[in-house]
Chain A
Amino acid sequence: MGQPLTISGSSSEPDCAVGRACPQTVSLAIENMHCGACIATVERALRRTDGVGEARANLSARRVTAHYDASRTNVQALIDALATAGYRAAESVEQPDDRDASRADDLLRRLGVAGFAAANVMLLSEVVWFGAVTDMDQTTTDLFHWLSALFALPATVYAAQPFFGSAATALKALRLNMDVPISLGIVLTLAMSLYQTMRGSHQVYFDAAIMLTFFLLIGRLLDEQVRRKARGAAENLLGLKALTASVVGAGGVIERMPARALRSGMKVHVAAGERIPVDGRISAGMTDVDESLITGETLPRWVTQGSEVHAGTLNLGRPVTVEATATGSNTLLAEITRLMQAAEQGRGQYVRLADRASRLYAPAVHALGLATFLGWMLAGAGWETSLTYAVAVLIVTCPCALALAVPVVQVVATSRLFGKGVILKAADGLERLAEIDTVVFDKTGTLTRGEPTLRNVAEVPDAVLARAAGLAVASRHPYAKAVVRAAEQRGMAVIAAPGTREVTGSGLVAPGPHGEHRLGSREWAGAGKSDERAGGLWYVEPGHAPVVLDFEDTVRTDAREIVARLRKAGYEVCLLSGDREPAVAGVANALGIADWRAAVKPDGKIAAIEDMKRQGRKVLMVGDGLNDAPALATANASLSPSSAADISQTTADAVFQGEVLAPVLESIAVARATQQMSIENFVIAIGYNAVFVPLAMAGYVTPLIAAVAMSLSSIAVTVNALRLKGRTLAVTQARRTA
């Protein structure tokens, strides 16, 4: 056995000498691994692949880890093997998840230690409580107090580190966050208990300190795990979406390959609405690029031949060819990280709100504690009793329930939606979804499956199909994709037509030797109105008769039922489509939608939605195409299927997966329930504080009772929120604002 040439990480293709074993490990995200039986299927499919040693699937993370020999196989072969078994897989991005995992593990370890210490301290405490009413002598009580101190002190100091650390950071920046009163409460309780133990008194509350730490850690851990799961799911989605590229090979043949396999100098074709998969230079074409993800600049940048473009930016205008300059996992990783950060910032609105509230709340807590201490001192209670009461106030005002009230409902709602295949992207998306009373659907790809097939494929000559596919390959429009698929099914190599431009909402145009070639709607392509046949696309070429390309697209199986249920619940359902009238009318009639408009351009959709908003209606837009993106941004709330163009997914509040429309109904129902339960939780949390703060200030609450009551209120709001998980939700009556 020789030395391996390089020791490479899991996310870059290793350079292995030919003929030598080169063990590697890879982690793959699998989109549709849902059930227990899938574990075995996935693992077996990988183990049967030549060169794979061992594979283990993780159902919670929807990932599989495999050991393979890089000299005999590669990652793409593993992905292909899974595709054959019926699973969509992509290489997952490891690093961010690893960091999260170690943070969650750290919290769990601290929780374990706190739990061990809390159990033992409670065991000792109870003996003392019962001893107080029987015949326990002072020596035994002291011994038990010292034993409690022996456990509680080191355990609390170790387990409460996350709170101390956060409080220290806040104090250093001269701010107050909620960890400051928590830390102060814990430290004061420990110090006072230690002092009283030395004096041999009864005012010892080690149990309160360790119990408080234990319950607070449970809250932190739950929060961390839900975030981690959400981030993992979003990463899987991104990995599946963003990590393939269309590479232009010799003779202009376009081949899909994983972005990780890109090498410097390769030419990549980027269709309109697609994300640029690699850092590079424009080698053909000109377009607008949305760089907001990188620079924060909201105005698109105009790029022409020779301009530098970055991985992760969106191509807004026309198809371009990009020559890769820097490649490999680095740029892609950076892209994913940026996307995750963008998502985190969006989600952080509630965190910011909580922080702002705590800036007001934390000083109030300290003031109340101080007032309690001074009040009892003035009343002549002595400093020890006064301090005990003040600590009880500090603990009882710990606004865990208040801080949990809304986020915990959001967390449960988000994870319920995850389970149904809806990935919520906007932090305030649920709030806005709860308000809507009108649902606007796009047709192609939203109400229908969006995978149309060429119906009259037999009537289209080979040469025409090849040239049409050359235009169509530049677009992500479902019809265009169907043309490319049809060409590929005939065994043709698709060669991109140079200079192709996509006119949003109309079609594709490319210059030719005798004039422009057009592929698009009949009027725009110039096919005239003589032919009465209903055609999806027309291919027009100077000197040739126009050729019609006819498509059929099936309606999603449950579309009719969903529309009926929305209407029954009082929502207005609208259909706005850029498609021609007969097709739209057909779908609208089949689904029972009375309010429909056909041949609407993107600006027409915006105008229509703005019009509805002016009438005081709250609009939910459900759409998928490049032309829907502005409408999605205009509407009050927006949903997009996972098959949508990247730009639409970026704009939409939530993305839903799967073949059915049921997630739309589910999202609305969950959003409505979320709002109602948030209000319930607020009432619980505020009611609890209203009862216990006066009691604590009056000296009726010991630190231990305060710690238990505080935990109980947190548990109450959490349990209330968890009801959302299993409940069957019906879409309730739409709210009428007019």
Chain B
Amino acid sequence: MSSLAWLIPCALAIGGLALAAFLWAMNTGQFEDLDGAGWRAIANDDDRPLERPPTPEQRS
């Protein structure tokens, strides 16, 4: 029984990490171009993601 005390939190932590990773991937736009991503991997170009458009405060 005592093993449950740490096994259950472990399972939860792993699940939680997966959820966090998924939400991170979503919010950083990893799912935006599923067709293009595969091709970019084999291209030789200097390939950087597009920065977010500058806000008016940053421009001034």
- Answer whether A and B are interacting partners: yes
A2 at the interface (CB under 8 A from B): yes
Q: How far is the CA of A170 from the CA of B15 in the complex (A)?
A: 36
Interface residues of B in 16-38 (CB under 8 A from A): 16, 18-19, 22-23, 26, 31-36, 38
User: In the complex, are the beta carbons of B39 and A54 less than 8 A apart?
Assistant: no
Q: How far is the CA of A204 from the CA of B59 in the complex (A)?
A: 58
Chain B residues with CB under 8 A of A40: 43, 45
CB-CB under 8 A for A109 and B36, given A54-B50, A67-B53, A116-B15: no
Q: How far is the CA of A58 from the CA of B50 in the complex (A)?
A: 11
Cβ contact of A105, chosen from B16, B26, B40, B54, cutoff 8 A: B26
Interface residues of A in 65-117 (CB under 8 A from B): 65, 67, 105, 108-109, 112-113, 116
Chain A residues with CB under 8 A of B16: 116
A304 at the interface (CB under 8 A from B): no
**Which B residue's beta carbon lies closest to that of A54?**
B50
Q: How far is the CA of A116 from the CA of B54 in the complex (A)?
A: 35
Chain B residues with CB under 8 A of A61: 33
Q: How far is the CA of A3 from the CA of B58 in the complex (A)?
A: 10
Shortest distance between the CB of B58 and any CB in chain A (Å): 9
Q: How far is the CA of A140 from the CA of B3 in the complex (A)?
A: 12
CB-CB under 8 A for A36 and B38, given A4-B60, A54-B50: yes
Shortest distance between the CB of B38 and any CB in chain A (Å): 7
User: In the complex, are the beta carbons of B19 and A147 less than 8 A apart?
Assistant: no
Shortest distance between the CB of B49 and any CB in chain A (Å): 7
**Chain B positions 41 through 59: 1 when the CB is less than 8 Å from some CB of chain A, otherwise 0:** 0110100111101101001
Chain A residues with CB under 8 A of B34: 60
Shortest distance between the CB of B55 and any CB in chain A (Å): 9
Q: How far is the CA of A65 from the CA of B40 in the complex (A)?
A: 16
Interface residues of A in 1-56 (CB under 8 A from B): 1-4, 7, 21, 23, 25, 35-37, 39-40, 43-44, 54-56
Shortest distance between the CB of B10 and any CB in chain A (Å): 11
Chain A residues with CB under 8 A of B8: 147
Shortest distance between the CB of A670 and any CB in chain B (Å): 21
User: In the complex, are the beta carbons of B50 and A23 less than 8 A apart?
Assistant: no
User: In the complex, are the beta carbons of A23 and B59 less than 8 A apart?
Assistant: yes
Shortest distance between the CB of A55 and any CB in chain B (Å): 8
In the complex, which of the residues A40, A56, A57, A67 has the most CB atoms of chain B within 10 Å of its own CB atom? Answer: A56
Chain A residues with CB under 8 A of B56: 4, 7
Q: How far is the CA of A37 from the CA of B38 in the complex (A)?
A: 11
In the complex, which of the residues B4, B35, B45, B53 has the most CB atoms of chain A within 10 Å of its own CB atom? Answer: B35
Interface residues of A in 124-147 (CB under 8 A from B): 140, 143, 147
Chain A residues with CB under 8 A of B48: 54
**Which B residue's beta carbon lies closest to that of A124?**
B8
Chain B residues with CB under 8 A of A108: 26, 31
Shortest distance between the CB of B46 and any CB in chain A (Å): 10
CB-CB under 8 A for A65 and B50, given A40-B43, A59-B33, A140-B1: yes
Q: How far is the CA of A155 from the CA of B36 in the complex (A)?
A: 33
Q: How far is the CA of A44 from the CA of B19 in the complex (A)?
A: 36
CB-CB under 8 A for A36 and B45, given A58-B36, A109-B23, A120-B11: no
Interface size on A, residues (CB 8 A): 37
Q: How far is the CA of A203 from the CA of B40 in the complex (A)?
A: 52
Cβ contact of A59, chosen from B11, B36, B53, cutoff 8 A: B36
User: In the complex, are the beta carbons of A36 and B36 less than 8 A apart?
Assistant: yes
User: In the complex, are the beta carbons of A112 and B35 less than 8 A apart?
Assistant: no
In the complex, which of the residues B18, B39, B49 has the most CB atoms of chain A within 10 Å of its own CB atom? Answer: B39
Cβ contact of A43, chosen from B4, B26, B45, B59, cutoff 8 A: B45
User: In the complex, are the beta carbons of B15 and A2 less than 8 A apart?
Assistant: no
**Which B residue's beta carbon lies closest to that of A123?**
B11
Q: How far is the CA of A36 from the CA of B40 in the complex (A)?
A: 7
**Which B residue's beta carbon lies closest to that of A139?**
B1
CB-CB under 8 A for A109 and B50, given A36-B36, A59-B36: no
User: In the complex, are the beta carbons of B11 and A4 less than 8 A apart?
Assistant: no
Interface residues of A in 566-586 (CB under 8 A from B): none
Q: How far is the CA of A36 from the CA of B22 in the complex (A)?
A: 26
**Which A residue's beta carbon lies closest to that of B48?**
A54
A119 at the interface (CB under 8 A from B): yes
Shortest distance between the CB of A62 and any CB in chain B (Å): 9
User: In the complex, are the beta carbons of A39 and B39 less than 8 A apart?
Assistant: yes
Shortest distance between the CB of A243 and any CB in chain B (Å): 22
Q: How far is the CA of A59 from the CA of B45 in the complex (A)?
A: 16
Q: How far is the CA of A494 from the CA of B32 in the complex (A)?
A: 45
User: In the complex, are the beta carbons of A113 and B19 less than 8 A apart?
Assistant: yes
Chain B residues with CB under 8 A of A143: 4
Shortest distance between the CB of B16 and any CB in chain A (Å): 7
Shortest distance between the CB of B24 and any CB in chain A (Å): 11
Chain A residues with CB under 8 A of B23: 109, 112
User: In the complex, are the beta carbons of A23 and B54 less than 8 A apart?
Assistant: yes
Chain A residues with CB under 8 A of B59: 1, 4, 21, 23
User: In the complex, are the beta carbons of A1 and B26 less than 8 A apart?
Assistant: no
User: In the complex, are the beta carbons of B36 and A57 less than 8 A apart?
Assistant: yes
Q: How far is the CA of A140 from the CA of B8 in the complex (A)?
A: 12
Q: How far is the CA of A61 from the CA of B32 in the complex (A)?
A: 9
User: In the complex, are the beta carbons of A60 and B36 less than 8 A apart?
Assistant: yes
Shortest distance between the CB of B6 and any CB in chain A (Å): 14
Chain B residues with CB under 8 A of A7: 56
User: In the complex, are the beta carbons of B51 and A54 less than 8 A apart?
Assistant: yes
Chain A residues with CB under 8 A of B60: 1-4
Chain B residues with CB under 8 A of A105: 26
- Given A23-B53, A23-B54; 5 other pairs, CB 8 A cutoff: A36-B40, A40-B45, A58-B32, A109-B23, A113-B19
**Partner-B contacts on A (CB < 8 A):** 1-4, 7, 21, 23, 25, 35-37, 39-40, 43-44, 54-61, 65, 67, 105, 108-109, 112-113, 116, 119-120, 123, 140, 143, 147
Can you name 7 A-B residue pairings with CB atoms under 8 Å? A36-B36, A43-B45, A59-B33, A60-B34, A60-B36, A61-B33, A116-B22
Q: Which 5 A-B pairs have the closest CB atoms?
A: A36-B39, A59-B36, A56-B50, A116-B19, A59-B35
